[in-house]
Amino acid sequence: MAKNQSRDPLLLTSHWHIDCRLPAELPDDRVVSSRFLANLPFGLMTLGLFVFFCWQLSSDLSLRANVADLNRRLAESRVTVATIKQQQRDYTTLAFKIETAHTLMKNRLFISHFMTQLSRARPGTMVIESVEGLEVAIVVRGSMSGAAEKAGAEIGNYVETLRKDSEIGPSFETILVSNFERPPGGDRQNFELTFKFRTEPPSA
């Protein structure tokens, strides 16, 4: 009886528990290992693709930020360049105005001196009737009284005096009598003086 009781599976001892394991229904360890190893490359590939996508996204965002910064700098540069060009135009305009004013002032001073010398050096028998400013020359016309020989000598001395003038002489290439004649029936000699401007500055 004692032998049968020791083999009875329902016999409870002081340390007992119900065996809930179902070894027959558990999967084989080798199958689980093979499935894990089979899925591991796909997992690693998926992880690699995810990392690559994140890297591409980061690069794209960085590139967009760089492009935006470059466009901003380019816009600022355009504004700066436009400002510099406007300042250059303003400076050019101002320089032209200053140069024009200086030229006008210089010309006025020269013309004033020219007219003064024409009147101061002229013989008493000479009358200046007109002064015409051309592009390449100044033409002075008038008349002289007296004999033709005397008038001719006086106008020759007059021209020589103008050539020796410190301001008038160097300003012209030639100063000459371009016409000198007595009109028919007249008692005065008509003359014409031509002051041809220099095309190059006088040599020192």
- Alpha carbon 195 to its chain centroid, in Å, reads 43
pLDDT-derived band at 143, boundaries 50, 70, 90:
very high
Using the structure block, give the residue that is written with the tokens 């119900």. Answer: 18
What is the rounded average pLDDT of the residues 157-167? 90
Q: How many residues does the chain have?
A: 204
What is the rounded average pLDDT of the residues 122-151? 88
- Which token pair is 5? 């009781």
Task: Name the 3-class secondary structure at 17.
Answer: coil
pLDDT of residue 37: 63
Q: How far apart are CA 83 and CA 100, in angstroms?
A: 25
What pLDDT digit, counting tens, does each position of 30-68 carry?
Answer: 555 666 566 667 777 888 888 888 888 888 888 888 888
If residue 77 lies in a helix (H) or strand (E), which one and from where to where? helix 29-121
Contacts of 162 (CB under 8 A, 6+ apart): 117, 118, 121, 168, 169, 175, 195
pLDDT of residue 176: 92
pLDDT of residue 104: 47
pLDDT of residue 25: 57
Domains and CATH numbers, the chain: 122-197 (3.30.70)
- Which token pair is 108? 């006025």
pTM of the model: 0.48
What pLDDT digit, counting tens, does each position of 73-121 carry?
Answer: 888 888 888 888 888 887 787 676 666 555 545 565 577 788 888 888 8
DSSP 12: -
Q: How far apart are CA 65 and CA 59, in angstroms?
A: 10
Strand partners, 193: 140, 177
| pLDDT reading at 17 higher than 70 | no
Strand partners, 194: 139, 176
